[in-house]
Amino acid sequence: MDGNGRWANARGLPRTAGHAQGEPALFDVIHGALDLGIEWLTAYTFSTENWSRSPEEVEFLMNFNIDLLRRRRDELDDLDVRVVFIGERDDPRVPDQLRIEMAAAEGLTEDNTTMTVVFAFNYGGRAEIAHAARRLAEAAVAADVDPREIDVDAVAGQLYLPEMPDPELIIRTSGEMRISNFLLWEAAYAEFVFTPVLWPDFDRNELARCVDEYRRRERRFGGATDAVAGPRDGTSS
Ligand code: IPE
Ligand code: MG
Give pTM, 2 decimals.
0.94
Rounded CA-CA distance 47/58 in Å is 11
Class of domain 4-215: alpha beta
- What one-character DSSP code corresponds to residue 116? E
Residue 6 CB-half CA count within 13 A: 12
Cross-strand bridge partners of residue 171: 193
- Nearest alpha carbon to residue 128 among 166, 170, 182, 174: 182
- Cα distances (Å, whole numbers) of residue 136 to 23, 150, 162, 182, 226: 37, 8, 14, 22, 40
Domain ranges in the chain are: 4-215
For 208-223, letters b (16+ CB in 10 Å) and e give eebbeebeeeeeeeee
**What is the predicted pLDDT for the residue at 219?**
87
5 lines ligand 1 (CB under 6 A): yes
Q: How many CB atoms lie within 10 A of CB 173?
A: 24
Cβ-in-10-Å burial (0-12, 13-18, 19+) of 125 comes to: buried
Whether residue 2 lies in the annotated active site: yes
Q: Which one of the listed residues 4, 9, 35, 50 is annotated catalytic?
A: 50
pLDDT for the residue 235? 45
Q: Which atom of ligand 1 is nearest to the CA of 47?
A: 5
Q: Is the CB of 50 under 6 A from ligand 1?
A: yes
pLDDT of residue 227: 75
Calculate the CA 209 to chain-centre distance.
Answer: 19
- Centre of ligand 2 to C-alpha 29, Å, is 19
| Ligand 1 atom at minimal distance to the Cα of residue 176 | 12
CB of 200 within 6 A of ligand 1: the answer is no
Per the annotation, the verdict on 226 as an active-site residue is: no
How does pLDDT run along the chain (237 residues), one tens digit per residue? Answer: 999 999 999 999 999 999 999 999 999 999 999 999 999 999 999 999 999 999 999 999 999 999 999 999 999 999 999 999 999 999 999 999 999 999 999 999 999 999 999 999 999 999 999 999 999 999 999 999 999 999 999 999 999 999 999 999 999 999 999 999 999 999 999 999 999 999 999 999 999 999 999 999 998 999 998 877 655 554 444
Task: Report which protein residue has its CA nearest ligand 1's atom 1.
Answer: 2
- Cα 164–Cα 97–Cα 202 angle in degrees, nearest 5: 50
Report which of 173, 175, 171 is spatially closest to residue 183, judged by C-alpha positions: 171
What residue's CA is closest to ligand 1, atom 9?
Answer: 2
Atom of ligand 1 nearest to the CA of 50: 5
CA distance from start to end of the chain: 32
Q: What is the DSSP string of 18-72?
A: HHHHHHHHHHHHHHHHHHHT--EEEEEEEETTGGGS-HHHHHHHHHHHHHHHHHH
Q: What is the pLDDT of residue 230?
A: 54
